[in-house]
Amino acid sequence: MKTSTQRFSALLLAAAALTSVMGCASTATQESTGQYMDDTAITAKVKSAIFNDASLKSAEINVETFKGVVQLSGFVNSAADIQHAAQLVQGISGVRSVRNDMRLK
């Protein structure tokens, strides 16, 4: 009887420990602090590159980054500007891919 109680207690303790560790795992919609900082740096680089590009400087482009995937949204003057912005961003260090949701004015 005492052995089965000890086994049950050990099993219960292991299950509780496993549950608490699972709560610390990152999900697809959450970032670690390091990843958040990396994404912030990538966003800053992208915004700087767009601002310093003569053809895109006056465009209304919004930039968001999540786990290295950069999303561009907003309005530009031409289809060529849409392609140019995507190519410009793709060449930036740390960018895994570009999601281009920009529209023409």
Global pTM reads: 0.67
Residue 35 CA to its chain's centroid (Å): 8
Q: pLDDT, tens digit, for every residue of 63-73?
A: 999 999 999 99
In 3D space, the residue among 59, 55, 56, 41 whose CA is nearest the CA of residue 95 turns out to be 41
Retrieve residue 63's tokens.
């930039």
DSSP state of 30: -
Architecture of domain 31-104: 2-Layer Sandwich (3.30)
Q: Can you give the pLDDT at residue 58?
A: 77
Q: pLDDT, tens digit, for every residue of 21-69?
A: 555 555 556 767 777 789 999 999 999 999 999 999 878 999 999 999 9
Domain boundaries, the chain: 31-104
Which residues are bridge partners to 60 per DSSP? 75
What is the amino acid identity at position 68?
G
Q: Can you give the pLDDT at residue 7?
A: 72
Q: Can you give the pLDDT at residue 57?
A: 80
Which residues are bridge partners to 104 per DSSP? 76
**Long-range Cβ contacts of 14-23 (<8 Å, 24+ apart):** none
Dihedral sign, Cα of residue 30, residue 35, residue 39, residue 41? positive
Going by pLDDT thresholds of 50, 70 and 90, the confidence category of residue 6 is: confident
